[in-house]
Amino acid sequence: MTAFEKMQQLEQHLSPFAFGKKNVVRLMIIPLLISGHILIDDLPGVGKTTLSKAFAKLLGRSFSRLQGTSDTLPQDILGGEIYHANTQEFSLRKGPIFEEIVLIDEINRMHPKSQSAFLEAMEERHVTIGTNRLELPAIHLVLATQNPIEYSGTYPLPEAQRDRFSCVITIGFPDRETQTAILAEQQYLELDQQISKLPALMTADEIISLRESVKAVNISPEILDRIITFADWTRDPEVFRYGMSPRALSIFAAALRANAVLDGRDFVIPEDAIALLIPFVRHRVEYLNSSVDSKGLADVLNEKYREIFRGL
């Protein structure tokens, strides 16, 4: 079984945990292929944590879970040097961040100083504790969840931290049929058992080879040109407070490539961006008109994307 076929299998296995939303499953996998990180931003009870746990289980990677609380400290995340009284020496204790898949539940409950502990790890893939610089594993995915409706007792992620996440996923409510099924079969209570039964599908080498195939995907110069035009538009100071950074642009292009790979293509088509545009771009720009909320911003971005790609 090739890596690609395994990946398709992974999609199939994962989809029940996303209430059959293929789009969401796809968005979970793409950051894995482009060495990115995922932030799941949605209401409580739509299955954020379950989905993340199932995903980690299916990948078969080492996994750690961290609950965001208001007194979580950077040491709890990164680890630290511990003093041993009997040997009179310091020894290094690694924190949960050193696992391959790190699930951070309710990241916005953490204090900003703890949130910023992730900055180095997520971007540069190493952690400095004291004077030691420690490399993180080759496959390292941070999966964070947050709840958008609470304000008291939470600390919204700062822009720099938001920018570290390559995509922000909104799961949304399940449709009528899925809800009927959930209620009829009473699956909801048994989800944890189901997760424990899931097989581990991927090896590290397979994931790395898929990453190599993503790099080989061709983007035609026409599409690149339009994407850059789009990024330039988001940098227009009359429309946006701030626009897409070069990092955001390169991550977006990589995501388009990964999407093509998951569709079994070795080239990018303009339609690839339809599902990717909002999760990969919206959290990286801020509209000038404050009366437009994030939903409205999505409409504006989609509209402009269509306008720029007119004729392609």
Binding region for other proteins (CB under 8 A): 172-173, 218, 220-223, 238-239, 265-271, 274, 288-293, 295-296, 299-300, 303-304, 306-307, 309-312
Q: Which is nearer to other proteins, 232 or 266 (CB)?
A: 266
User: How far apart are CB 200 and other proteins at their closest, in Å?
Assistant: 34
Q: Does residue 18 contact residue 254 with C-beta atoms inside 8 Å?
A: no
Q: Is 42 helix (H, G, I), strand (E, B) or coil?
A: coil
| β-bridge pairing 101-105 and 141-146 | parallel
Round to whole Å and give the CA distance between 198 and 175. Answer: 24
Measured from the CB atom, the residue of 71 and 293 that comes closer to other proteins is 293
**Closer by beta carbon to other proteins, 77 or else 301:** 301
CB of 13 to other proteins, least distance (A): 27
Q: How far is the CB of 270 from other proteins (least distance, A)?
A: 6
Nearer to other proteins, 129 or 224 (CB): 224
Minimum CB–partner distance for residue 116 and other proteins (Å): 31
For the CB of residue 100, give the shortest distance to other proteins in the complex, in Å: 34
d(CA 264, CA 182) in angstroms, rounded, equals 32
Spatial neighbors of 12 by CB under 8 A, at least 6 apart, are: none
Cβ atoms of 298 and 287 closer than 8 Å:
no
Minimum distance from residue 117 beta carbon to other proteins (Å): 35
- Helix (H) or strand (E) holding 242, with range, is strand 240-242
Alpha-carbon distance 262 to 33, whole Å?
10
**CB closer to other proteins out of 5 and 225:** 225
- DSSP E strands in 26-152: the ranges are 38-41, 63-67, 79-84, 89-94, 101-105, 126-129, 132-135, 141-146
Least Cβ distance, residue 253 to other proteins (angstroms): 14
**Distance (Å, whole) CA 299 – CA 23:** 18
Closer to other proteins by CB, 159 or 307: give it: 307
Closest C-alpha among 278, 272, 270, 246 to residue 258: 272
Q: Of the two residues 47 and 270, which places its CB atom closer to other proteins in the complex?
A: 270
Tokens matching residue 6: 């395994």
Task: Give the pairing of strands 167-169 and 141-146.
Answer: unpaired
Residue 268 in contact with residue 255, Cβ under 8 Å? no
Cα four-point dihedral sign 67, 73, 74, 80: negative
CB of 287 to other proteins, least distance (A): 9
Smallest distance from the beta carbon of 293 to other proteins, in angstroms? 6
* Nearer to other proteins among residue 249 and residue 297 (C-beta): 297
CB closer to other proteins, 90 vs 173? 173
